[in-house]
Structure 1
Amino acid sequence: MNPRVSVIIPNYNHARYLPRRIESVLNQTFRDIEVILMDDCSPDNSRDVIADYAARDSRISVVLNEQNSGSTFKQWNKGIAIARGEFIWIAESDDYADSTFLATLIAKLDTDADIGLAYCDSWDVNEQNQIIDTRVQFYEELDPIMWTQDFVLPGEMLVNKFMFFRNIIPNASAVLIRRSILSRTGPADETFKVNGDWVFWAKILAVSKVAFISARLNYFRRHTNNVRSTTITNGTALLEHSRVLNMMATLGKPDSYFFNKMIDTLLYIWFDGLINHQIPVSKHRQIYINLSRVDQGFGKRFKYAFAQRMFPNKLSGLRQLIGDGFLYRFMRRRTTKH
């Protein structure tokens, strides 16, 4: 008989955190699981840790890459393709969970076959497993009441209301997916570097109900250095945000307040990147194209925001831009070519 839950643990270079992650899975009060331990060619001793745990528990199978895939979402898809369970838990290798995580979320999913995924609230912890934050402020900015209590809602409503502005499911480790729903939504988009989860959840929500558990049963680990930091400075994160908006436009109709807030936020980040980061010209061009596709008045909005940012305070923004920012790099590039 197939297990009810397939737990996929995609690991890369997290040997330090793997024991706590694996033990928090094996010690769940809900026992009917298979564990798919994956390693994406880690340079640390992750494979020693994996081999040790696999030898102890027959529920564990191991999938090792001979070469690094370079993609979190390729690993997700690879694990999902071999999963046998009715439900799928992508348990990120540096996070961990309360022992009642699975039992609590499965109980909710069992109440309604139309619930495509259930997720819980999270604690944020540091590298020493100390609690450093919650998601209270994260959710209060969206709705001061909704995420303070359990709910089951049509996912399409949440996509239209909030998902154009923010990924309301910020951590995969907090989510339990009904595997059958994936036949309708397809795999995670492997062309994304960091925001593939945002689109993945939105596709599921667009065709199913979603359940939220307000209890904090997941522990999300924050790192001082991570992939997202690099993607901010090289423009990848901003480009992916603009792509997310285009993907969302195929799934629903945005709430005007949060949509406009998202555009304004992206413009602020964009102009900061123009001045402070070495973002390639090609990315700037594609960001402009993407945002123009989802906002018919984007050209005028861009010009107004540009003037507001660059011309006040004795043209300080413009001077920065010309001095060592985007315009300096652009003009230097053109001079070098000719």
Structure 2
Amino acid sequence: MRGVEMARGDYVWIAEADDLADPGFLAELLPAFERDEVVMSYCQSRQIDGAGRVLSEHYLDYVSDIDRSRWTRPYVVDGHQEIAEALYLKNTIPNVSGVLFRRERLRDTLAKHSEEIASLRNAGDWVTYLRLLENGSIAFSPRSLNAHRRHQS
């Protein structure tokens, strides 16, 4: 929350410590924000291990129980539609480092729902997406422009 408040730009990327973004990440996600209603834009993520070896080029297997083709093409949809068709079932955005947020909308959402988000320590990102999308649209790119480091538990 504090980092979002301190940010000065129009957009925020919450980079987890050991995740990576490809050089084309911003160029791919930023154009979606030309539409005023878009509050978050995200892309597919590669899964990598602790040494940086690619485990999977995507998360399509993770979301295939919801829809086998939805995340194979770009889209922009109303937040309520995204929730109704995907996010109400499970967190279909498995890596926050693959998301770019409209800063002021994220800041307002975090402030308004801070207690709820904090109370759900293992699902805070999911709740944040749900609350943010109650008042905006989401854009998705099927390009894997982010690497999510998976650690063995």
TM-score, structure 1 length as denominator?
A: 0.42
- CA shift for structure 1 position 141: 1.4
Q: How do 1:210-221 residues align onto structure 2 when only pairs under 5 Å count? A: 210-221=138-149
1:145 aligns with 2:69: yes
2:7 matched residue in structure 1:
83
Q: 1:106 aligns with which of 30, 40, 60?
A: 30
Q: How do 1:100-179 residues align onto structure 2 when only pairs under 5 Å count? A: 100-110=24-34, 112-133=35-56, 134-179=58-103
Runs of 4+ in 1 over 3 A off after TM superposition: none
AA matched with 1:199? V
Partner secondary structure for residue 186 of structure 1: helix
Give deviations 1:256-299, integer Å, cap 9, x for gaps: xxxxxxxxxxxxxxxxxxxxxxxxxxxxxxxxxxxxxxxxxxxx
Measure the CA separation in 1 of the matches of 2:124 and 2:136.
19
- CA shift for structure 1 position 190: 1.9
Structure 1 unaligned segments of length 5 or more: list them: 1-76, 226-338
Q: 2:105 aligns with which of 176, 181, 205?
A: 181
Give deviations 1:78-134, integer Å, cap 9, x for gaps: 111111110000011110010110121112222x11100000000000001000022
Measure the CA separation in 2 of the matches of 1:159 and 1:206.
8
Which of these two proteins has the greater Rg computed from alpha carbons?
1
Normalized per residue, the structure richer in strand is 2
Higher-RCO chain (CA-CA 8 Å, sequence separation at least 6): 2
Instruction: Number of aligned residue pairs: give it.
Output: 148
Partner secondary structure for residue 82 of structure 2: helix
Q: 1:199 aligns with which of 119, 127, 132?
A: 127
Give deviations 1:186-230, integer Å, cap 9, x for gaps: 3452222211000001111111010001100010000013xxxxx
Measure the CA separation in 1 of the matches of 2:119 and 2:137.
27
Measure the CA separation in 2 of the matches of 1:182 and 1:138.
26
Structure 2 unaligned segments of length 5 or more: list them: none
Q: Is the CA contact (8 Å cut-off) linking 2:76 and 2:138 kept in structure 1?
A: yes
Give deviations 1:36-56, integer Å, cap 9, x for gaps: xxxxxxxxxxxxxxxxxxxxx
